[in-house]
Amino acid sequence: MTDAAPLTLNGTPTRVRFCPAPSGWLHVGSVRAALYNWLHARHHAGTFVFRIEDTDASRATEESMRSMLDAMLWIGLDWDEGPQLEVDGTIGARGDYGPYRQSERSELYTAVARRLEAAGHTYRDHRTAEELEAWREQQRAGGDGGPPVVKAANFEHTDDELARFATEDRPASLRLRTPASGATVVTDLVRGEIRFDWASISDPVIERSNGTATYPLANSIDDVAQGIDLICRGEDLLSVTPRQVLIHELLLADGLLDEALAEVGLPPRDPAWGAPRRFAHLPMVVGMDRKKLSKRHGSVSIQEFRRQGFLPATLRNYLALLGWAPNDGRERLTDAEMIESFELDSVGRSAAAFDVDKLTAFNGERIRDLDPDDLTDKLVPFLDGTYGDEALLDDPATPQQLAMLRGLVPLIQERMQRLDEVVNYAGAFLRDHVELDPASVAKVFTKAGSYESIEAAQAALAEAEWTVDAIEAALRALSEELGIGFGKVAQPIRVAVTGSSVSPPLFESIELMGRELTISRLAAAAPVAREARAEAL
């Protein structure tokens, strides 16, 4: 820790949270927000809370919950409080201020809503969706030209209307009264002070007509109840901030939230906690076309990147750099280095484009840094059918297969950028037969000396000592013998043996494959080369 203040102003360690809706997959933009929260918590020795915002219970299946947890575990952002995958496969929780799924806290939201209502901070809105839409249409187009701002002054029903709706048994949502005038200033760590005029902010619905809490209510309640002191989230939530700080204040006034907590039997707040006093709104993550990052741009969920063979450490490093840079300008950072130098107030303000090419380059570097045995282990799921469609390995892999893979890794490690590329190389080593790539055949076998090289190699390798050096010596001798450059003899042999004009280093590949396989492939390719050459003439 450098100049990090380990404690917040009131003396308690910082508490931050990541609270996605459980759609099933994690968007890279969300992961970056999670990462920044995590880095902040770890840098300041605070607490990182993971909360699931499944207010809309219909979308929150057990399946999607599991997928979220799995993704968070994989990306490596460990949380101190939140849901937890138990050993028996069920979903439990850890932490003293749970539950950490909003679907399990609905009683609290109701208790708070009743208190806000009793205190006169709310009013009922009996309008139907159609009526609301019609009203907005009229406001937008309207002759009076006013913006569609919902305020108690122009929206609260008269007593007569209320009485009539009551007899009609018409459902109603609950709206929060926001100030009619004046302004509120939000202090944002990345943007500085931002001023909002209440006159242009609508009274939000905090409880739907079916009685469930909406995001502004549930999110605000949980942040205060769980002692979140810094709210770090996407810029898309910036405009919602004023009404949330208003709710925070209301919750703390007269112990309103504390009473509600006690009433429904949820854990009490730590008395030292206040309202979230700091905000950090992160710039959007966009595609290279500057539009909001979506499926049109390719992969957007962290799970997809996993299947494509990106390393979690690469994602953490790359995502950290999407909007932030350490003072010394380094880019390849370990977790410890990021935690050491990360500061939210040095996060940039403009939207960042997600550049897969750079991510891929970073990934290649990290793959090269891996211990070969470690890399071997990481490659297995890309070969046994776990991720890809075709399986080159049995599941589980045989010792012979693993030995072959282990031997292959040093040959391919420095030419991979993604783990899934292993399938491009491994086929020639793990399969009995190799398909000769037609393009390679057309390009290489048609050249002078191709079948001569292959046939000569067959003879030479039949007797060569089986070491890389001896194989190299035997093949280089062919070049002299045939009177052509070594490149001209190596390429046909490469195609014959690996099936492609692009492969790992030839001598090492041959050595790894073994004499039997090598000779049989040379034998099989020789007539193909003869034919290709004949046709070319």
Partner RNA sequence: GCCCCCGUCGUCUAGCGGCCGAGGACGCCGCCCUCUCACGGCGGUAACGUGGGUUCAAAUCCCAUCGGGGGUACCA
Which of the residues are catalytic? 295
Among residues 62, 373, 414, 481, the one that binds RNA under rule CB under 7 A: 414
Among residues 331, 469, 480, 481, the one that binds RNA under rule CB under 7 A: 331
- Identify which of residues 10 and 239 has a Cβ nearer to RNA in the complex: 239
Considering the rule CB under 7 A, would residue 55 count as an interface residue with RNA?
yes
Considering the rule CB under 7 A, would residue 140 count as an interface residue with RNA?
yes
- Identify which of residues 395 and 469 has a Cβ nearer to RNA in the complex: 469
Q: CB of 488: closest distance to RNA in angstroms?
A: 9
CB atoms closer than 10 angstroms to residue 151: 19
Considering the rule CB under 7 A, would residue 236 count as an interface residue with RNA?
yes
Q: CB of 273: closest distance to RNA in angstroms?
A: 22
- Identify which of residues 305 and 397 has a Cβ nearer to RNA in the complex: 305
Site for RNA in 81-120 (CB under 7 A): none
Q: CB of 475: closest distance to RNA in angstroms?
A: 9
Considering the rule CB under 7 A, would residue 535 count as an interface residue with RNA?
no
**Residue by residue, what is the 3-state secondary structure of 359-406?**
HHHHHHHHHHHCCHHHHHHHHHHHHCCCCCCCCCCCCCCCHHHHHHHH
Q: CB of 270: closest distance to RNA in angstroms?
A: 24
Among residues 164, 296, 368, 431, the one that binds RNA under rule CB under 7 A: 368
Considering the rule CB under 7 A, would residue 148 count as an interface residue with RNA?
yes
Helix (H) or strand (E) holding 225: helix 215-225
Cβ atoms of residues 309 and 382 within 8 Å: yes
Beta-ladder partners of 193 = 187
Q: What residues contact 236, with CB distance under 8 A and at least 6 apart?
A: 284
Beta-ladder partners of 184 = 196
Total number of residues that touch RNA (CB under 7 A): 87
Considering the rule CB under 7 A, would residue 299 count as an interface residue with RNA?
no
* Lookup: tokens for 114: 């009743």
For residue 478, give the nearest of 497, 455, 494 by alpha carbon.
455
Considering the rule CB under 7 A, would residue 309 count as an interface residue with RNA?
no
Site for RNA in 390-409 (CB under 7 A): none
Among residues 113, 284, 393, 408, the one that binds RNA under rule CB under 7 A: 284
Only one of the segments 65-73, 264-272, 506-514, 522-530 lies at the binding site for RNA (rule: CB under 7 A); that segment is 506-514
Considering the rule CB under 7 A, would residue 530 count as an interface residue with RNA?
no
Cβ atoms of residues 113 and 261 within 8 Å: no
Considering the rule CB under 7 A, would residue 336 count as an interface residue with RNA?
no
DSSP 21-87: ---SS-BHHHHHHHHHHHHHHHHTT-EEEE-B---SGGG--HHHHHHHHHHHHHHT---SBEEEE-T
Q: What is d(CA 424, CA 414) in angstroms, rounded to the nearest whole number?
A: 14
Site for RNA in 421-480 (CB under 7 A): 472
Q: What is d(CA 495, CA 438) in angstroms, rounded to the nearest whole number?
A: 10
Considering the rule CB under 7 A, would residue 292 count as an interface residue with RNA?
yes
- Identify which of residues 196 and 397 has a Cβ nearer to RNA in the complex: 196
Strand-pair category, 183-188 with 192-197: antiparallel
Considering the rule CB under 7 A, would residue 210 count as an interface residue with RNA?
yes
